[in-house]
A = this chain, B = another copy of it.
Amino acid sequence: MQLDNISQKILSTLQSEARITNQDLADRVGLSPSSCLNRVRKLESAQLIGPYLGTLNLPKICRSVEVIVTVSLKDQSTEAFRTFQTAAQGHPEVVECYTVSGSFDFFLRIVAPDMARYNAINDQLLDILPGMVNISSHVVLTTVKPFRGYPLDTLIEE
């Protein structure tokens, strides 16, 4: 699927203002509401744009701790990777997980109600591949910049 300027603008607008009305969106991109809606539906069907999320202000809602975790596997077999991935996906507290190149194998972001709970999760992760996994925890002190979408401007074209 190739994107003209209008579809790009739809994507970047919906990325940052998911609850905009179709009419407003149509105005912004210079289409009629019906055409605009057609485009949005196509972008959704093609899965260029996925779920729409409300961003919660967690500190205002409940007590919580956020931890960024680096993981290295001593046994870097495909099997070990898959085992760890599956386990990470199964934990709702693991809100984000990546495999990476370089000096670590995984980065996780974990959110728990308190340190005791975090510690329990940490232990569970260590138990996945006993003795074969190296985990370092980094408690988040401040969120300097929360994720608010990708910079499409700097990514597309040029």
Q: For the complex, what is the distance from the CA of A1 to the CA of B55, rounded to whole Å?
A: 17
Contact A50 B46 (CB under 8 A): no
A75-110 interface mask toward B, CB cutoff 8 Å, 1 = contact, 0 = none?
000000000010011001111111111111011010
Per-position contact with B for A126-144: 1 when CB-CB < 8 Å, else 0?
Answer: 0000000000111111111
- Number of chain A interface residues as a range: 35 or more
* Interface pair A62/B155, CB less than 8 Å apart: yes
Residues of B within 8 A of A98 (CB): 66, 68, 140-144
A131 to B139, CA, bound (A): 26
A42, CB-defined interface residue at 8 Å = no
Residues in B with CB closer than 8 Å to A52 are 17-19, 52-55
Residue of B at shortest CB range from A46?
B60
CB proximity of A36 to chain B, nearest CB, Å: 14
Distance A12 CA – B158 CA, assembled complex (angstroms): 39
| B56 and A150 form a contact (CB under 8 A) | yes
Q: Chain B residues near A55 (CB, 8 Å)? A: 15, 49-53
A60/B89 in contact, CB under 8 A: no
Residues of B within 8 A of A60 (CB): 1, 46-48
Binding site for B on A (CB under 8 A): 1, 3, 11, 14-19, 46-58, 60-62, 64, 66, 68, 70, 85, 88-89, 92-104, 106-107, 109, 111-113, 136-156, 158
